[in-house]
Structure 1
């Protein structure tokens, strides 16, 4: 199957979530609780399942991790030029600049699962797990003007870090998970991606699109067009190949994480702009990701 076609079911779920929320059939309060449930209850078991029994070669993954750090840092620096370019106040800049470098793990895991199955999820989990602290330090640092307490709080409560660290510990420590318990974890993990994609669609918001058209276009161009090109250069320079290259390239072309909006609101940033970045990035990725997959993989 053409790799680009793999994205169709994932984006259909996102659109379904958008339509379901706009229908008003479920109360607005449901969606905030649903997103929290997926993020804190379902997502850690998905990561644990992928890593606990994976055949891991951490040494071989180091060039992939270095490439991820290189293109993520590049996006952060390029995105930061938006502040003087568009004369943005700090709360708006810090909230919106997340659109240049944050990545939607739900979409990434769904795509890698379709491309390469459980080994694909385990590989991109290693990459995402390494980059999550990096992007959180970047985001919280700009939103909180360097508040170390804020950074530590966000990192410690991040369920991606919980799931990945527990899965790695089980794998490297040779922990035997009883079959009934692992089956229960498997059931939770199976629900994470479809429900996660639906909540991504439900979270799409359009309030600030016209007000910030310039910076939105700028950040999305970096995230969805320039970043994959940088990732190609970085993986080539560092000799990343096979499944590791595939995971790095998929991560580089992902839309912005919905957590960018949540973090901006929690830290008194411009929540409307962060929501607009997530929305435009997600919708634009429905066009750019199939093209990038077809061209680069």
Structure 2
């Protein structure tokens, strides 16, 4: 599998956004409005649709779900612990950490879907749908919590008002309740989801400032190391410990190593944090995925 070719579209869209913002009339005034559209409408539609469209059988996939949740909790715990680790605490800006912790554990759903289909066809898509349906709500809540806490706003109030949390939570409830969306809605929701991905990546490129990394190099290296090195090793241990094989094991390993979610930038920017810093991390994560995916899939299972 050519991972560079698989990740090239995401990287190209980020680069296009950067060029458009800096060298055309489509400056920050335009991209601020694009970010609002993506955050309040397009991304919620994407998340809701991706969760609802694939029924989750909790009983048949109990070990897989345990592994996916285990990976998520490991990433969340390690990311949250960074400011408290000896040798790191004095070099980490707490506000930048609140915005960038999500980079360590969130994942790019579209890349997950593409890799799963290439690895195991229809069975792979079913496996990744289960992981997305259960892990997206967990990781979105974990992404919002440090920013709400650091910003002094009520966590529950932020959850109720956050469109990504509302979309993922309602999607999971409908999925578990067995509610199916009408067929005539599927094409519209699918196209809105595709638009959210493209515009989200363009907005991330428009907001990107690599100079923002200069004051947070250690933090950036830490969250990216968790995302692209530690979590694949955690997934490998869980595969062996829970006895996962075949498509489930292959897709879980890929799930642990894909680049971080492109919506990480939009979430940080809309909540008033250093979006430029997070956008640069999203770009670096996309590049690192070209190495972490083959590394994760090469581990013996």
Indicate the larger mover: 64-73 or 21-30.
Answer: 21-30
Partner of 1:251 in structure 2?
A: 255
Q: How does 1:6-45 map to 2 (within 5 A)?
A: 6-45=6-45
Q: Which runs of 5+ in 2 are unaligned?
A: none
Contact 2:63 2:242 in 1 (8 A): yes
Q: How does 1:280-295 map to 2 (within 5 A)?
A: 280-285=284-289, 287-292=290-295, 295=298
Q: Which runs of 5+ in 1 are unaligned?
A: none
Match of 2:132 among 128, 135, 140: 128
1:149 aligns with 2:160: no
1:208 aligns with 2:215: no
Over residues 12-69 of structure 1, what are the superposed CA-to-partner deviations in whole Å (9 max), with x where a residue is unaligned?
3333333333332423232233334344434444455555554643322332222122
What secondary structure, in the 3-state scheme, does the structure 2 residue paired with 1:74 have? helix
Q: Distance in 1 between matches of 2:286 and 2:250?
A: 20
Over residues 167-212 of structure 1, what are the superposed CA-to-partner deviations in whole Å (9 max), with x where a residue is unaligned?
76268535461x4433433433444444444344334331322222
Match of 2:192 among 188, 191, 198: 188
Partner of 2:73 in structure 1?
A: 73
Over residues 215-253 of structure 1, what are the superposed CA-to-partner deviations in whole Å (9 max), with x where a residue is unaligned?
222221121112112112112222334444344323322
Partner of 1:85 in structure 2?
A: 87
Q: Distance in 1 between matches of 2:40 and 2:220?
A: 29
Partner of 2:233 in structure 1?
A: 229
Over residues 144-166 of structure 1, what are the superposed CA-to-partner deviations in whole Å (9 max), with x where a residue is unaligned?
44878324523653336526744
Computed over aligned residues only, the root mean square deviation of the Cα atoms, in angstroms, reads 3.8
Contact 2:55 2:175 in 1 (8 A): no
Q: Distance in 2 between matches of 1:185 and 1:206?
A: 34
Contact 2:53 2:180 in 1 (8 A): no
Match of 1:101 among 82, 85, 105: 105
How many residue pairs align between the two structures?
295
Q: How does 1:240-279 map to 2 (within 5 A)?
A: 240-264=244-268, 271=275, 273-279=277-283
What secondary structure, in the 3-state scheme, does the structure 1 residue paired with 2:241 have? helix
Contact 2:67 2:239 in 1 (8 A): yes
Contact 1:17 1:201 in 2 (8 A): yes
Contact 2:200 2:262 in 1 (8 A): no
User: Normalising by the residue count of structure 1, what TM-score does the alignment of the two structures yield?
Assistant: 0.76
